[in-house]
Amino acid sequence: MKLLEERIVKDGIVRDGGVLKVDNFLNHQIDVELLNEMGAEWKRLFSDAQINKILTIEASGIGIACIAAQHFGVPVVFAKKARTKNIDGETLSTTVHSFTHGRDFDVMVAKRFLTPGDRLLIVDDFLANGCALNGLIDLANQAGATVEGIAIAVEKGFQGGGDALRERGFKLESLAIVDSMDPKTGSIEFRS
Amino acid sequence: MKLLEERIVKDGIVRDGGVLKVDNFLNHQIDVELLNEMGAEWKRLFSDAQINKILTIEASGIGIACIAAQHFGVPVVFAKKARTKNIDGETLSTTVHSFTHGRDFDVMVAKRFLTPGDRLLIVDDFLANGCALNGLIDLANQAGATVEGIAIAVEKGFQGGGDALRERGFKLESLAIVDSMDPKTGSIEFRS
């Protein structure tokens, strides 16, 4: 998606260690007009899919998922990172390794919000090695739900998580795939 | 807001200890059409305010804030609960006690996303004792930003946090204020 690539070039910051900061428009400060264009593009890309629910993970997936959900006319469910007083009843849970935070954490969804009839679009802001997505796919599998597609804003192609998911047969649409980036020059190369 | 009150009566669950679960439409599974109506209502209620940014806190404030932001034509900034590799540079931070989680946690915002010129609408899903809001107000004060208003979905009026903020002079608009609720009967009384 040209608009997102241009924004990454304009406002993204390349750091050592494979870190791409897009926090002034995507995951700390959020440009909701850009999110709206992204949602419209995913709707176009997944126009053939029968989707009844969007699944994401807190925190930075939630805004993207909610605005995308307006284009699909479906509710959002987000996996939570910690048990709170407000989750009771039966839950589905899995463990995710966070590249960003450098540690494992448990995520969970209340069972009643993921059911065998659900046809899910999984949405997230970033895809690096795919750990968060694998956790969400695991939750979907535990529920017996169907993953109709995966919608990602920025995929770090050089970390391989996206291609591994494509090889497993998932319809994965990343709006920008970064194939290489250079922290010295700040240059970013996108997959065409 | 009638629509939200009716939804709370229909789908809210009253638990012991002052807990009101609205997780099937507001903060775990999210009804984005309802959020859109809420955003329109806040825009009406804050039509006189000059707002250039919405400030919220992860996680459940983010979706509500993003959809509300579409009505105001402004970006969202959300305070984060943990330092990650993706936040660097100078940050503003404060400590918040979570009623839901039963513990204190640090929240932070990158300094460059809250500046003295900012005129903020603070948005959150719940207002109980006001700890999260006081944390966000503290971040705004540290930045020298102006809090133009506070937009809340559900206020638990019987916990007093909202009235304390009104007494301090904040323009606070809660779309539903629960003045009492009974876990035995499930009945909920709203402030009129």
User: Chain B: residue nearest A35 by CA?
Assistant: B66
pLDDT digits (tens, 9 = 90+) for B53-87: 999 999 999 999 999 999 999 999 999 986 554 45
Domain span including residue A100? 2-181
- At residue B101 the predicted structure's pLDDT band, cuts being 50, 70 and 90, is confident
> Quick check: is A192 in a domain?
no
> Quick check: is A188 in a domain?
no
* Average of per-residue pLDDT values in chain A: 94
Q: Does B29 contact A76 at a Cβ distance shorter than 8 Å?
A: yes
Average pLDDT (A62-87) is 88
User: Chain B: residue nearest A14 by CA?
Assistant: B86
In this model, does residue B178 exceed pLDDT 60? yes
Inter-chain CB pairs, A–B, below 8 Å: 135
Q: Which residues of B touch A100 (CB under 8 A)?
A: 84-86
* Angstroms from A152 CA to nearest CA on chain B: 17
Q: Does B101 contact A82 at a Cβ distance shorter than 8 Å?
A: yes
Q: Which residues of A touch B143 (CB under 8 A)?
A: none
pLDDT digits (tens, 9 = 90+) for A107-135: 999 999 999 999 999 999 999 999 999 99
Give the C-alpha separation, A74 to A71, whole Å: 8
Q: Which residues of A touch B19 (CB under 8 A)?
A: 85-86
Instruction: Give me the percent of chain B exceeding a pLDDT of 90.
Output: 90
Give the C-alpha separation, B100 to B61, whole Å: 14
* Confidence (pLDDT) at B14: 97
CATH code, B18: 3.40.50.2020
In this model, does residue A169 exceed pLDDT 90? yes
Q: Does B36 contact A70 at a Cβ distance shorter than 8 Å?
A: yes
Of B30, B58, B86, the CB nearest to A75: B30
- At residue B102 the predicted structure's pLDDT band, cuts being 50, 70 and 90, is confident
**In Å, how far from its chain's centre is CA B13?**
20
Q: Does B59 contact A78 at a Cβ distance shorter than 8 Å?
A: yes
* Count of domains observed in chain B: 1
> Quick check: is B188 in a domain?
no
Give the C-alpha separation, A44 to A33, whole Å: 17
pLDDT digits (tens, 9 = 90+) for A4-39: 999 999 999 999 999 999 999 999 999 999 999 999
In this model, does residue B146 exceed pLDDT 80? yes
Give the C-alpha separation, A53 to A148, whole Å: 10
In this model, does residue A88 exceed pLDDT 80? no
Q: Chain B interface, mutation test: which of A86, A87, A92, A109, most B Cβ atoms within 10 Å? A: A86
* Average of per-residue pLDDT values in chain B: 94
Residue A90, phi-psi category: left (phi > 0), alpha (psi -120 to 50), beta (remainder): beta
- At residue A138 the predicted structure's pLDDT band, cuts being 50, 70 and 90, is very high
- At residue A103 the predicted structure's pLDDT band, cuts being 50, 70 and 90, is confident
Give the C-alpha separation, B121 to B74, whole Å: 10
Q: Which residues of B touch A103 (CB under 8 A)?
A: none
Q: Does B66 contact A113 at a Cβ distance shorter than 8 Å?
A: no
> Quick check: is B166 in a domain?
yes
Q: Which residues of A touch B110 (CB under 8 A)?
A: 23, 28-29
> Quick check: is B143 in a domain?
yes
Q: Does A86 contact B113 at a Cβ distance shorter than 8 Å?
A: no
- At residue A83 the predicted structure's pLDDT band, cuts being 50, 70 and 90, is low
Q: Which residues of B touch A21 (CB under 8 A)?
A: 86, 88
User: Chain B: residue nearest A63 by CA?
Assistant: B63
Determine the residue type at A7.
R
Query: DSSP secondary-structure letter at A124?
Result: E
Q: Does B59 contact A63 at a Cβ distance shorter than 8 Å?
A: no
> Quick check: is A90 in a domain?
yes
User: Chain B: residue nearest A75 by CA?
Assistant: B31
> Quick check: is A189 in a domain?
no
> Quick check: is B187 in a domain?
no
In this model, does residue A85 exceed pLDDT 80? no
The two beta strands, A76-79 and A53-57, are parallel
- At residue A98 the predicted structure's pLDDT band, cuts being 50, 70 and 90, is confident
Q: Does A110 contact B23 at a Cβ distance shorter than 8 Å?
A: yes
User: Chain A: residue nearest B35 by CA?
Assistant: A66
E strand residue ranges, chain B: 13-15, 19-21, 29-30, 53-57, 76-79, 91-98, 103-110, 119-127, 146-156, 172-181, 188-190
- At residue B186 the predicted structure's pLDDT band, cuts being 50, 70 and 90, is very high
